[in-house]
Structure 1
Amino acid sequence: MKSAEPLSPTESPAETLGFDPAIKRKLLAGIESGLLRDLHVVLAARSGSVFLDHYTQGNDDEWGRPLGQVAFNADALHDLRSVTKSIVSLIYGIALDRGLVPPLEATLLAQFPEYADLAVHPARARITIGHALTMTLGMEWDENRPYSDPLNSEIAMELAPDRYRFVLDRPIIAEPGSRWIYSGGSVALIGAIIAKGTGQSLPDFARDALFTPLGIERFHWSAGNDGVASAASGLRLTAPDLLKIGQMLLGKGVWNGQRIVSEGWIEASFAPAISTPDGLGYGRLWFIGDAPAPAFDAPKPWYAGFGNGGQRLWLMPEADIAAVIYAGKYDAWDAWVTPTRVWREIILANLQRA
């Protein structure tokens, strides 16, 4: 991260970057009042400089395995859960830029010739890689059940003897491209295509193509019983390293003068391809919305990776803000409330000037 200009004796980092200098105190008040629950980490930066950081301790899991009480700090790895999906989108974009994976208009089943029997269904045969990247496969998939339920489709995929056949053999319930259906299975397929095209496992290619250029030295990628890393939810990163990814995206794919991801891939990933049932836009494994801030006359667009339990990577390019939120409210229906309040009522509401 680049450093801000030296502060005057009366200035705080937040104030220098355009925020209410009491922003940290407001965050702590929300936590103390019980309005902001189960937070583990809040880390936010503007124009390359951190203006808000908060680390605490709490009960945590590693991909569903209880870890007990964990004291979080800048060196602690944390589950991203489905923020992993958004990182996988970036990895596909890098592989595509290098000519290692097929274009988005390529048919999905053509990448899995071992399942040629499934292509006899006309709609299934029309599904493309682009449909997988926008969760518009048109296939049945149910992740509304708790992740402790073996009937949850992602868990059923992990328990299946062949995860890819399990995904590709789901019943067709909508025309491909016409309906958004949240699907970790679609991202498992993207991870497999990356591995096939690059000749490396997903974690190994991610390390070489994304993490090492960003100076990310430590990560963990949880894998299923078959040894396959979960492209849908398995990545663990420290908060500062996830923030680096966000700042690289704000830099339109450039980090320390080095091109990591093409600007065209980022722009296309952040372009709404379909609407979700919650009224948000969805691009290439990124959620899209808008939110107000006192610094602006009208709401500005944001882009985000969302993960089970309250994990978030929020970006607002017009304000040059990236924010990481880690939390421990796994599998709870209201886990979205606290990270949304931190983003809207703490971070954006205290941005006073552009």
Structure 2
Amino acid sequence: MPTRRQILTLAGAALMTGTTASATALETVSPAAAGFQPDLDQRLAAAQAAGRLDGLHGIVALRGGRIFFERYFRGPDASWGTPLGEIAFGPDTLHDLRSVTKSIVGLLYGIALDRGMVPAPDQPLLAQFPEYPDLAADPARARLTVGHVLTMTLGTEWNESLPYTSAANSEIAMEMAADRYRFVLDRPILAEPGQHWTYNGGATTLLGRLIERGTGQALPDFARAALFDPLGIGATQWTRGHDGTPSAASGLRMVPRDLARIGRMILAKGQAGGRQVVPADWLAASFQPRARLEDGRGYGYHWYLGRFEAGGFWRGAIGNGGQRLFVWPGIDLVVAITAGNYDQPEQWRPPTNLVREVILPALAG
């Protein structure tokens, strides 16, 4: 079977932006200075020895905006299905974020909305795509709004549970379509919009199109100017699909420290470097539970909402293979994780075990 990258991309079709290292260094402190027990490495080693952290590539944990725990490992990696070989990961090693990209696009939409460049969530979806008058004339689709895109509650047919090597996977089918946007908008309607959450990379693709159309910039360029540079984020890559479109759903590559910077900005209610980077009201709206997943987690505007027994409620971004950004406002904690367990059924376990068995139990007091 062809790899995901062979299906989705042209050879070498990736965009690199930014400098090779983060623009400003993050301060590093000891675990004790951050209010954690000093035995984090022992906890980590015990979990690794028990085989509970297999496939982890990088960990960056911040409290009070400062790094108190940062570790990298060695292991095989891939980018969109193309093997990269055995990698000795470090602070400057770019890593696939996969669907963490979706949550970052959600932030970009809020920035563009604040600038009056994209439609508000309550606006009709098909009105934003006048090139498809036949779809807009469908009464059933007239009920679709931008908000249904942001919450992945379109009620249309979409299935990403199949392997990403299969043309029957909806994201792959979208990438192979002659017109990716028509493909997403023309899916059969199965339920009333707003009633059910269905994981849908096509929804993020629509957001990326609205951002590009409204700002007049390619998605990576707007991300660099509006979010990455203000946060001091260094080099990034954005993989393109077969038609040259940067993948809004899963194409971003970034180092873990810079992913943690996004979490730090969230804890600061959208501020960084003395300026408001993401509107605080957009963050508040993004973290409202607007849909319920089968496992009990909530979903806002492209962000997951959950709770661990220790640490309390978190807001997070989740990507295939074990990519994670967890943010705990109640304890001022950010954890960014990269891993290489792509497409594996139990891929969720290593990052969850890391949080539950290593980091949160070490919180002092």
Q: TM-score range by the shorter chain?
A: over 0.9
* 1:91 counterpart = 2:120: no
* 1:204 counterpart = 2:221: yes
Match of 1:246 among 263, 267, 273: 263
Deviation at 1:188, TM superposition (A): 0.2
1: distance between equivalents of 2:166 and 2:37? 44
> Which residue of 2 is the match for residue 40 of structure 1?
57
> Which residue of 2 is the match for residue 276 of structure 1?
293
- Write out per-residue CA displacement over residues 122-157 of structure 1, whole angstroms, 9 at most, x where no aligned residue: 221111111101000111100011111111101111
2: distance between equivalents of 1:14 and 1:66? 35
Q: Which runs of 5+ in 2 are unaligned?
A: 1-24
TM-score, length of structure 1 as denominator length: 0.94
1: distance between equivalents of 2:297 and 2:41? 29
Runs of 4+ in 1 over 6 A off after TM superposition: none
1: distance between equivalents of 2:341 and 2:131? 39
Secondary structure of the structure 1 residue equivalent to 2:31: helix
Q: Is the 8 A contact 1:123 1:176 kept in 2?
A: no
* 1:181 counterpart = 2:193: no
1: distance between equivalents of 2:45 and 2:356? 15
Q: Which runs of 5+ in 1 are unaligned?
A: 5-11, 294-298
> Which residue of 1 is the match for residue 15 of structure 2?
none
> Which residue of 1 is the match for residue 317 of structure 2?
305
* 1:348 counterpart = 2:365: no
One-letter amino acid matched to 1:309: G
> Which residue of 1 is the match for residue 343 of structure 2?
331
* 1:226 counterpart = 2:238: no
- Identity fraction in percent: 53
- Write out per-residue CA displacement over residues 196-239 of structure 1, whole angstroms, 9 at most, x where no aligned residue: 00000111100110011111230000010100001000000011
Q: Is the 8 A contact 2:100 2:250 kept in 1?
A: yes
Secondary structure of the structure 2 residue equivalent to 1:206: helix
TM-score, length of structure 2 as denominator length: 0.91
Deviation at 1:292, TM superposition (A): 2.5
Q: Is the 8 A contact 1:292 1:349 kept in 2?
A: no
One-letter amino acid matched to 2:135: L
2: distance between equivalents of 1:165 and 1:37? 40
Secondary structure of the structure 1 residue equivalent to 2:132: helix
* 1:102 counterpart = 2:114: no
One-letter amino acid matched to 2:183: F
Match of 1:195 among 204, 212, 220: 212
> Which residue of 1 is the match for residue 22 of structure 2?
none
Aligned residues between the structures? 341
2: distance between equivalents of 1:341 and 1:231? 29
Deviation at 1:3, TM superposition (A): 4.1
- Write out per-residue CA displacement over residues 18-70 of structure 1, whole angstroms, 9 at most, x where no aligned residue: 11210122112211321211000011011111121110111111122111111
2: distance between equivalents of 1:123 and 1:141? 17
* 1:51 counterpart = 2:68: yes
Deviation at 1:16, TM superposition (A): 2.0
Greater relative contact order: 1 or 2 (C-alpha under 8 angstroms, separation 6 or more)? 2
One-letter amino acid matched to 2:185: L
Q: Is the 8 A contact 2:26 2:67 kept in 1?
A: no
| RMSD between aligned residues | 1.2
